[in-house]
């Protein structure tokens, strides 16, 4: 799937426009490095990583909200994060 295809699909989904815009900017920058052989600076690399984490965090909130709504509708309890998820959360917190 190309960047264009992905952005088109996201735009036609329930994803908020500001998140779609963030993903588009991130992927277009990545495309420059991959296809145009652009060599980003260390600062640009760091900023890109920050943007990637921000996209994941905002997307995670969408997923968590949808999951919570589904759980409420089904009258089930939300579960605690698995050990693997907890390790990932801790590593992300160490990065920041």
Q: Residue 80: what pLDDT?
A: 62
More confident position, 71 or 52: 52
Per-residue pLDDT tens over the stretch 33-62 = 999 989 999 999 999 999 999 999 888 766
Given phi > 0 = left and psi -120 to 50 = alpha, else beta, which region is 37? left
The full length of the chain comes to 96
Q: Residue 3: what pLDDT?
A: 94
Mean of all residue pLDDT scores within the chain: 82
Q: Residue 7: what pLDDT?
A: 95
| pTM of the predicted model as reported, rounded to 2 decimal places | 0.61
pLDDT at 32 over 70: yes
Compute CA distances 8 → 5, 17, 48, 57, 86, whole Å.
5, 11, 22, 21, 33
For residue 17, give the nearest of 70, 58, 60 by alpha carbon.
Answer: 58
The percent of residues in the chain predicted with pLDDT above 90, rounded, is 52
Beta-strand ranges (E) seen in the chain are: none
């Amino acid at each position: 799937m190309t960047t264009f295809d992905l952005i088109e699909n996201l735009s036609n989904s329930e994803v908020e426009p500001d998140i779609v815009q963030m993903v588009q900017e991130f992927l277009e920058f990545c495309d420059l490095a991959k296809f145009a052989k652009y060599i980003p600076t260390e600062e640009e690399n760091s900023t890109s990583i920050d943007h990637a984490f921000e996209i994941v965090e905002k997307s995670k909130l969408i997923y968590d909200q949808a999951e919570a709504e589904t759980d409420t509708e089904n009258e089930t309890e939300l579960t605690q994060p698995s050990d693997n998820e907890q390790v990932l959360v801790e590593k992300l917190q160490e990065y920041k």
